[in-house]
Amino acid sequence: MPSAHDHAFKTIDGQPLPLTTFKDKVVLVVNTASKCGLTPQYDGLEKLYTDYRDQGLVVLGVPCNQFMGQEPGTEQEIQTFCSTTFGIDFPMTSKVDVKEAGAHPFYKWAEKELGEPAVPVWNFHKILIGRNGEALQAFGPRTEPQDPGLVAAIKAAL
């Protein structure tokens, strides 16, 4: 049965990042952007990562420029922005498409698994992946990282 672990990204600095790297971890995959009204969610995502990483949570930031060009920078610019502005310590991928025909295969898989809720409609859309690579739930962009429903879903998966 296909799982998230069948997919791979590249890290923001160009290294291979197979999702099997996160086997036995709970992963919150979030498409991100540096110039969006929701960009302050980076703070909450870093807090989630800090609070729950010892229990097995990984937040995976996936930069995407498909929503009104709000992630125009290079990978280096994105990485610098995230570390200097928000102190981001969680892993980030290289910039990819997350919707439509050119969507990264992970996002096509998530849509097959979870249906329409898994298709990002804006930046900071969240997909929760379980320890065995199963797609658990999708959360819309306006779901804040500390939203009780999101935190409860993460805790249940951990």
Q: How far is 18 from 27, CA to CA, in rounded Å? A: 13
Task: Look at residue 19 and tell me whether its pLDDT is greater than 80.
Answer: yes
- Select which of 3, 11, 36, 114 is catalytic: 36
Which H/E stretch holds residue 9? strand 8-10
Q: Count other Cβ atoms within 10 Å, centred on residue 78.
A: 23
Average pLDDT of span 51-78: 97
State the maximum Cα–Cα separation within the chain, in Å, rounded to a whole number: 40
What 3-state DSSP class applies to 85?
helix
pTM over 0.75: yes
Cβ contacts of 51 within 8 Å, gap of 6 or more: none
Q: How does pLDDT run across 83-99, given as a tens digit for each residue? A: 999 999 999 999 999 99
Is residue 57 a contact partner of residue 158, using CB atoms and an 8 Å limit?
Answer: yes
Residue ranges covered by each domain of the chain: 4-138+145-157
82 carries an active-site annotation: no
Query: Where would I find the H helices in the chain?
Result: 41-52, 75-86, 105-114, 148-157
Q: Which pLDDT score, from 0 to 100, does residue 2 have? A: 87
Task: Look at residue 1 and tell me whether its pLDDT is greater than 80.
Answer: no
Topology (CATH level 3) of domain 4-138+145-157: Glutaredoxin (3.40.30)
Q: Which residues pair with 93 in a beta bridge?
A: 11
Task: Look at residue 139 and tell me whether its pLDDT is greater than 80.
Answer: yes
Is residue 26 a contact partner of residue 154, using CB atoms and an 8 Å limit?
Answer: yes
